[in-house]
Amino acid sequence: MGKPTGFKEFDRKKVPWRLPVVRINDYDEIYTEPKLDQLKEQGARCMDCGVPFCQSNTGCPIDNLIPEWNDLIYNNRWKEAIERLHKTNNFPEFTGRVCPAPCEGSCVLGITNPPVTIKNIENAIVDRAWAEGWIVPEPPETRTGKTVAIVGSGPAGLTAADQLNKAGHTVTVFERANRLGGLLQYGIPNMKLSKQAVQRRIDKMTTEGITFKTGVNIGVDVLPKDLQKDFDAVLLACGATKPRDLPIDNRDAKGIYPAMDFLTNNTMQMVHGDSIDETFINAEGKDVIVIGGGDTGTDCIGTSLRHGCRSLVNFELLPKPPEDRAPDNPWPQWPRIFRVDYGHEEASEKFGRDPREYQILSKEFLKDDKGNLRGIKTVNVEWTKKDDGGWAMSEVAGSEKDWPAQLILLAMGFLGPEQYVAESLGLEVDPRSNFQAVHGAYTTNIEGVFAAGDCRRGQSLVVWAINEGRGAARAIDIYLEGSSNLPAPGQTMGTAMEMSN
């Protein structure tokens, strides 16, 4: 490494977010400009660890060459760093902003010290590459004459499109929304991932020869079987968009929404500049409760604060995580520890306390005589470990409580893809309703139809969508050409034999 003793000399120091008291007043990205000397020091903390677990099966799902670009940053070789980064990651500005960084959770330095700030370095590399003009359109020199239709323009679909276009295939991406990007566009708020960053990539891909068609709902506007006739291969990358509901009493009260409806509604208004009308889900002046955690719950918190909510509470069913790893959560597993994300920090700044309430079970929505939501009834729960190692939940007697709320957002994850495309094609699905296709092959029971991303694996991370997009592109390239030079995570073979094993 550039500085073998760097991990002993320098402490972990993240690139700070903008001050919460400032950023809650706008939708600009929360990030600040990184200092080059700080990034160099952080790159120097990367150890000559022999086996880089940041690249293991508990680390980066796309095999990012993390030690290499950490060393390049330390030695001020930024252009080479973006070249190494792009070898494994089509969209590092997406992962550098929104990925939870499993690579840091498995960093070898993390055994005894805080891990390397891998995510900060990744984001700094790609942002500088854009600023320096190093990222430019690179259309393929030749075309194969083969055509591929991709349904969905989220991270899996965009990744597959980028890779297949590099192989010389003619790619058309269909998106039912009026703007491209899938959850990158409407599902992730602008303060975490600017829409300019998304559009910048799409503009580059368009210049490179990829065709994008928005406002086309495959299965409604166009039959999936027509795509089979018109294209040599079809990739379904339509996400897992069916939200998990909370079917308790008075679910019909007015003021209860799936989290993604709230986030999409807000981003559409911001992007298009439409005037706010009665269809806008507005948290202004309301007591807001977010049920469920994770990234989506945090995004609901941050968006509600920017609307100007009166109060804010976030219900979590599970106990509060420990500050440090528990004995049953050793390195290099993902550390299940207490974290403060940007929304929690902002809520603490505004209301003087962390918004999260743990071990809360929702029992009944409360509504007024006009059917409007006025609150929710809950009970506290306890978790006890069973003899078989599992956990049992029990309600705490006398802990019932009524909470005021005029807006409740359900951020409890997703149950799988919508089924109308699968039904139209006669596509097999797994027990969780995901499109049935084996990871690595991505083939469905329909000849020439492939599936990748959340619609195949279930709700997951952007970085896993990129993993699947790259893998599916390679599988489709082999299907069309008999062999492939496209790289994919964990795959080295390049012939049709790979598809049959």
pLDDT of residue 2: 75
d(CA 474, CA 372): 51
Evaluate if residue 1 carries a pLDDT over 80.
no
Distance set, CA 175 to CA 115, 190, 212, 366, 464 (Å): 39, 20, 8, 38, 20
**How many angstroms separate the CA atoms of 269 and 46, rounded?**
43
Residues belonging to the chain: 501
Asked, colleague to colleague, whether 6-132 and 245-410 share their fold, the answer is no
Lowest mean pLDDT among 189-193, 233-237, 268-272: 268-272
Q: What is the pLDDT of residue 389?
A: 85
Report the C-alpha dihedral over residues 252, 254, 259, 260, rounded to 10 degrees: 90
pLDDT of residue 170: 98
SS3 488: strand
How would residue 495 be classed by pLDDT, with cut points 50, 70 and 90?
A: very low
pLDDT value of position 48:
84
**pLDDT per residue as tens digits for the range 128-184:** 999 999 999 999 999 999 999 999 999 999 999 999 999 999 999 999 999 999 999
What are the domain boundaries of the chain? 6-132, 147-241+415-481, 245-410
Give dist(CA 472, CA 139) in Å, integer: 20
For the chain, the average pLDDT equals 95
Between CA 454 and CA 475 the distance in angstroms is: 17
CA dihedral 115, 59, 317, 319 (to 10 degrees): -40
Query: What's the CATH code, domain 245-410?
Result: 3.50.50.60
Mean pLDDT of 280-300: 96
Q: Omega before 332 cis (within 30°)?
A: yes
Q: Which residues are within 8 A (CB) of 330 and not within 5 positions of it... i.e. 6 or more apart?
A: none
pTM of the predicted protein model: 0.95
Number of H-type helices and E-type strands within the chain: 18, 16
Using DSSP, state whether 130 is helix, strand or coil: helix
State the CB neighbour count (10 A cutoff) for residue 278. Answer: 5
- Please give the full DSSP string across 384-440, using - where no structure is assigned: EE-TTS-EEEEEPTT--EEEE-SEEEE---EEE--SHHHHHHT--B-TTS-B---TT
Is the pLDDT at 492 greater than 70, yes or no?
no
Count of beta carbons in the 10 Å neighbourhood of residue 225: 14
408: left (phi over 0), alpha (psi -120 to 50) or beta: beta
Helix, strand, or coil here: 314? strand
> Sorting pLDDT into bands at 50, 70 and 90, what band is 494?
very low
- Max alpha carbon distance in the chain (Å)? 72
Give the model's pLDDT for residue 246. Answer: 98
pLDDT at 497: 40
pLDDT at 95 over 60: yes
Res. 430: pLDDT tops 50: yes
Q: What is the pLDDT of residues 251-261, one digit of tens each?
A: 999 999 999 99
> What distance in Å separates the CA atoms of residue 184 and residue 197, rounded to the nearest whole number?
10
Strands 233-236 and 373-385: unpaired
CA dihedral 24, 27, 30, 33 (to 10 degrees): -130
Q: Please check whether residue 62 is in contact with residue 88, taking contact to mean a CB–CB distance below 8 angstroms.
A: yes
Domain 147-241+415-481 classified CATH 3.50.50.60? Answer: yes
Topology annotation, domain 6-132: Fumarate Reductase Iron-sulfur Protein; Chain B, domain 2 (1.10.1060)
Task: Give the mean model confidence (pLDDT) for residues 490-498.
Answer: 53
Helices 342-351 & 294-307 angle (0-180, nearest 10): 40
Q: What mean pLDDT is predicted for residues 386-395? A: 92
CA dihedral 212, 128, 463, 281 (to 10 degrees): -70
Question: Which position has the token pair 């598809």?
Answer: 499
Asked if residue 473 lies in contact with residue 159, where contact means CB atoms within 8 angstroms, the answer is: yes
Scanning 102-174, the segments in alpha helix (DSSP H) are 102-105, 118-132, 155-166
- How buried is residue 25: exposed, middle or buried, by Cβ count under 10 Å (0-12/13-18/19+)? exposed
SS3 assignment, position 144: coil
Q: What is the pLDDT of residues 366-378, one digit of tens each?
A: 999 999 999 999 9
Please name the residue that has the structure tokens 């997406």: 94
Indicate the pLDDT class of residue 498, thresholds 50, 70 and 90: very low
Residue 316 bridge partners (DSSP):
358
